[in-house]
Structure 1
Amino acid sequence: MPQLDTSTWFITILSMVITLFLVFQLKVSKHHFPEDPKPKLTVAPKPVTPWEKKWTKIYFPLSLPLQ
């Protein structure tokens, strides 16, 4: 039974790895990555509530003066 000739394996595997690296670099270099996201300054709208239109005061039973 003949022996498997492995003398060319090193150069074959090395050239394959180099080729894959170069192809990957070319693919990545042609890709357009998005810009860095910048935070938006958003101002939350102030909710309109009916009790802000007039002066009101809430009296709690415990805050009333003792009788």
Structure 2
Amino acid sequence: MPQLDTSTWFITILSMIITLFFMFQLKVAKYNFPENPEPKLMSMPKSTTPWEKKWTKIYSPLSLPLQ
């Protein structure tokens, strides 16, 4: 049974990685990116809910005075 010749694997894998790197660089270089992205000022709409109009407090049973 013949042995598998692995002497060329290193150069094959290395050249494949380099080629994929250059292809990725060329693909990314086609896109136009903004120079200085400015943040958008977003105003949050004020929602009126019934519990915001009055003062409320929730008492836990352990904080109530002893009777």
- What TM-score results when the alignment is normalised by the length of structure 2? 0.53
Which consecutive residues of structure 1, in runs of 5 or more, have no partner in the other structure?
A: 43-67
Which consecutive residues of structure 2, in runs of 5 or more, have no partner in the other structure?
A: 44-67
Larger Rg: 1
Which residue of structure 1 aligns with residue 17 of structure 2?
A: 17
Computed over aligned residues only, the root mean square deviation of the Cα atoms, in angstroms, reads 2.3
Which residue of structure 2 aligns with residue 27 of structure 1?
A: 27
**Residue 40 (structure 1) shift:** 4.4
* Percentage of matched positions with identical amino acids: 69
- What TM-score results when the alignment is normalised by the length of structure 1? 0.53
Which residue of structure 2 aligns with residue 8 of structure 1?
A: 8
Residues 4, 40 of structure 1: alpha-carbon distance in 2 compared, 3 angstrom cutoff: same
